[in-house]
Structure 1
Amino acid sequence: MSEPNVLLTIEDRIAHIRMNRPKAANGMSVEMLRDFYNAVMTVHGSDDVRAVVITGAGKNFSAGGDIHAFHSKGKDLPAYIRQATAYLQDAMQALMRLDAPVIAAVQGYATGGGGFGMVCAVDIVIAADSARFLAGATKVGMAPDAGTTATLPAIVGQRRAMEILLLNPTMSAAEAKDIGIVNQVVAEDALLDTAMTLARTLADGPPLAQAAVKREVRNHAKLPVEAVLTEEARTVSELSGTDDALEGLASMIERRPPAFTGR
């Protein structure tokens, strides 16, 4: 039997989604995108997941769309692309709507909607020092997908996003960190351990407050500051009545680590 396209493990409140087509540089076929989406939805349905780590098997995080699968479709390619992008869009929206923070641990190449687009869609990015980032869509006569035309400008600004999406520079991990695409650069052999250590820190954090941060940061980029202030005040008032907020205050007073329960 062939290996699964995507592997999912949930252990100790951390979900690990691993793209598993190393021979294809984790290029995303319709089948892989479907399986990735299903994995994310499984995480959505798990009540105890507090953090998510996404990795790619082999030398590369993801080379984006599976160009060999695309090329093999010939005149049927538009229909195949419509199906692929539908799964990709649904998967990226599902990632962004997860209450749990999502970490991408990137080695090798992260290109196209499946690779670079996913990097822009997650919450925190840890990159190996050998990682490379490339938008790449216009390089092959295509347009960006995976929400990149919204997520990338929010990260780097409109002018820099135009440069990246139109000129397709291949960015090193250090260059990507300098402009805010990457949070941290580490040695490749420390990549997974670093991501898992960060996931453990997040999993031990207050889940309701972290979910509020994700929701507000993504939503408030579209709102005037007056509306943001109102929504922030409402959320803080709501959270102040939770067990986690009271536990957080008690832990500060008692000088001990907090034990958050998500209530």
Structure 2
Amino acid sequence: MSDEVVGSGPILLDIDDAGVARLRLNRPEASNGLDVPLLRAFHDAVMVCHSRPGLRVLVLSGEGKHFCAGGDVKTFASKGEALPDYLREATSWLQMVVQALVNLPAPVVASVHGFAAGGGGFGLVCAADLVVAAESAKFLGGATRVGMAPDAGTTVTLPALVGLRKALEISLINPVLTAAEALDLGLLTSVAPDGELAARTDEIVGRLAAGAPRALAATKRLMWSGLGSRVEAQLPEEARTVAELSGTADAREGLAAVIERRDPTFTGG
């Protein structure tokens, strides 16, 4: 039996009697792109999970065709000269979401289909404890492609997962990674056939929910202790850099190019 904690809005959350929380990004019309209202609701939902001492597992997923395509570029582009201020607020909420996920005692499992891109999608993949992906899923850093810099702690988590050289390639060149490639690099825990993603996720969730919760929480804390402190220290610098870059001509060009489905022309301005 599930307790529907949040039943409408940009985030959906239910928690069942076994202590399994399922948090779903719910802006399918925008490929679950992140904006300030979604990020506020996301943080509130994760804090609800923090308030449940019997929580065993948190599962992250996305409604619609994609897990999360990153920031909502149409919303960003609509802000014009006010974009740096908007992104300061958005990245502040994103920082709090990532920190809350890392600090949550219960393991966090991301169940990914479609695209996982940018700070919202790719960043959440890097911040999760375990990641299960459909074999057709795609992964993209994407920040520099729109004249921005990485956020969501990925400047720390990504090198830790795949190594510095590969992290730089992913962040500077922006290759679109298949699920098989992401698995080989160490970004993922498991890949499932598209029709079996939910079943594979539930299998892993079931094993976690049946585990010793204090031992799992302690192990997660120990694994993240050094890395998590580095993420916490880096998040404000990421946010400052993103806000600073968002005021440049290249960032405006990058956002316009994504919306217009063309290659950007960067001038360094």
In the alignment, which residue of structure 2 is the partner of 1:7?
Answer: 12
Equivalent-residue separation in structure 2 for 1:123 and 1:99 (angstroms): 11
The answer on whether the counterparts of 1:4 and 1:20 sit within 8 Å (CA) in structure 2 is yes
Q: Report the CA distance between 1:215 and its aligned residue.
A: 1.1
The counterpart of 2:93, out of the listed 79, 87, 92, is 87
Equivalent-residue separation in structure 2 for 1:18 and 1:198 (angstroms): 18
In the alignment, which residue of structure 1 is the partner of 2:79?
Answer: 73
What does 1:216-227 correspond to in 2, within 5 Å? Answer: 216-220=222-226
Equivalent-residue separation in structure 2 for 1:91 and 1:107 (angstroms): 21
Gaps of 5+ in 2: 1-6, 230-269
1:17 aligns to what SS in structure 2?
strand
Equivalent-residue separation in structure 1 for 2:128 and 2:116 (angstroms): 13
Gaps of 5+ in 1: 224-263
TM-score for both structures, normalised by structure 1: 0.82
The answer on whether the counterparts of 1:40 and 1:95 sit within 8 Å (CA) in structure 2 is yes
Equivalent-residue separation in structure 2 for 1:89 and 1:64 (angstroms): 14
Equivalent-residue separation in structure 1 for 2:111 and 2:22 (angstroms): 11
The counterpart of 1:196, out of the listed 188, 202, 209, is 202
2:150 aligns to what SS in structure 1?
coil
The answer on whether the counterparts of 1:114 and 1:146 sit within 8 Å (CA) in structure 2 is yes
The answer on whether the counterparts of 2:157 and 2:227 sit within 8 Å (CA) in structure 1 is no
In the alignment, which residue of structure 2 is the partner of 1:153?
Answer: 159
Question: Does 1:49 find its partner at 2:55?
Answer: yes
Equivalent-residue separation in structure 2 for 1:61 and 1:217 (angstroms): 26
In the alignment, which residue of structure 2 is the partner of 1:16?
Answer: 22
Question: Does 1:171 find its partner at 2:152?
Answer: no
Q: Report the CA distance between 1:209 and its aligned residue.
A: 1.0
Letter in structure 1 aligned against 2:124? M
With a CA cutoff of 8 Å and minimum separation of 6, indicate the structure with the bigger relative contact order.
Answer: 2
Equivalent-residue separation in structure 2 for 1:64 and 1:3 (angstroms): 21
Letter in structure 1 aligned against 2:62? G
Letter in structure 2 aligned against 1:71? A
Taking only aligned residues, the RMSD between alpha carbons, in angstroms, comes to 1.5
Equivalent-residue separation in structure 2 for 1:188 and 1:37 (angstroms): 29
State the Cα deviation string for residues 214-235 of structure 1 (Å, max 9, x = none).
Answer: 1111124599xxxxxxxxxxxx
Residue-pair matches, total: 222
Taking structure 1 as reference, are residues 222 and 37 closer, same or farther at Cα in structure 2, changes over 3 Å only? closer
In the alignment, which residue of structure 2 is the partner of 1:211?
Answer: 217
1:189 aligns to what SS in structure 2?
helix
Equivalent-residue separation in structure 2 for 1:43 and 1:220 (angstroms): 23
Equivalent-residue separation in structure 1 for 2:30 and 2:227 (angstroms): 36
Equivalent-residue separation in structure 2 for 1:3 and 1:74 (angstroms): 30
